[in-house]
């Protein structure tokens, strides 16, 4: 039998959850799916509204923002994956994220003020510190 039209189901206690979401079943992520995105458009919109970045938010704003974030993450993960493969590792750790960001000109500019925990720094030895190769070996001030 179907539930009565009064809105309450007969076997449930008052205030109990019905076990599913309100509305149509299976509609979760509909805007993300329509836009062809993996990042959640609904969550992006909720966070934009909750954090009050603007008094009004258009319909396309969370879709566009989710697309931009997805692109940045895909780009970063691709570069970090290449760095981990170069070092014969299968997992991406913070070191590889740092190497990926600092070796890419645009990501480095975007994330210039960001410090990644356990990321380290780029290997860099200044030329003045490297040992110069002399022509004859004599005339060096450091010889004894």
Nearest alpha-carbon partner for 97 in 109, 138, 111: 111
User: What's the rounded Cα separation, in Å, for the pair 125 and 123?
Assistant: 7
The pLDDT value recorded for residue 76 is 97
Instruction: Report pTM.
Output: 0.70
Residue 3's pLDDT band, with cuts at 50, 70 and 90, is low
In this prediction, residue 22 carries a pLDDT of 56
pLDDT digits (tens, 9 = 90+) for 56-115: 999 999 999 999 999 999 999 999 999 999 999 999 999 999 999 999 999 999 999 999
Instruction: Between 2 and 120, name the one with better pLDDT.
Output: 120
User: Residue 2: what pLDDT?
Assistant: 53
Q: Average pLDDT for residues 119-133, to the nearest whole number?
A: 90
- From the list 119, 24, 98, 110, the residue with the least C-alpha distance to 71 is 110
Report whether 35 contacts 66 (CB < 8 A). Answer: yes
- Model confidence over 4-55: pLDDT tens digits? 555 555 555 555 555 555 555 566 789 999 999 999 999 999 999 999 999 9
């Amino acid at each position: 039998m179907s539930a009565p039209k009064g809105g309450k189901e007969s076997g449930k206690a008052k205030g109990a959850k019905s076990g599913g979401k309100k509305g149509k079943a299976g509609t979760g992520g509909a805007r993300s799916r329509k836009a062809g995105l993996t990042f959640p458009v609904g969550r992006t919109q909720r966070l934009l509204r909750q954090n009050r970045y603007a008094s009004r938010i258009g319909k396309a704003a969370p879709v566009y923002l989710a697309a931009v974030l997805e692109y940045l993450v895909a780009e970063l993960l691709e570069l970090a994956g290449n760095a981990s493969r170069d070092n014969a590792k299968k997992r991406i750790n913070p070191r590889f994220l740092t190497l990926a960001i600092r070796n890419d000109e645009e990501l480095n500019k975007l994330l210039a003020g960001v410090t990644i925990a356990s990321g380290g720094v780029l290997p860099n030895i200044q030329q003045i510190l490297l040992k110069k190769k002399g022509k004859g070996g004599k005339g060096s001030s450091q010889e004894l």
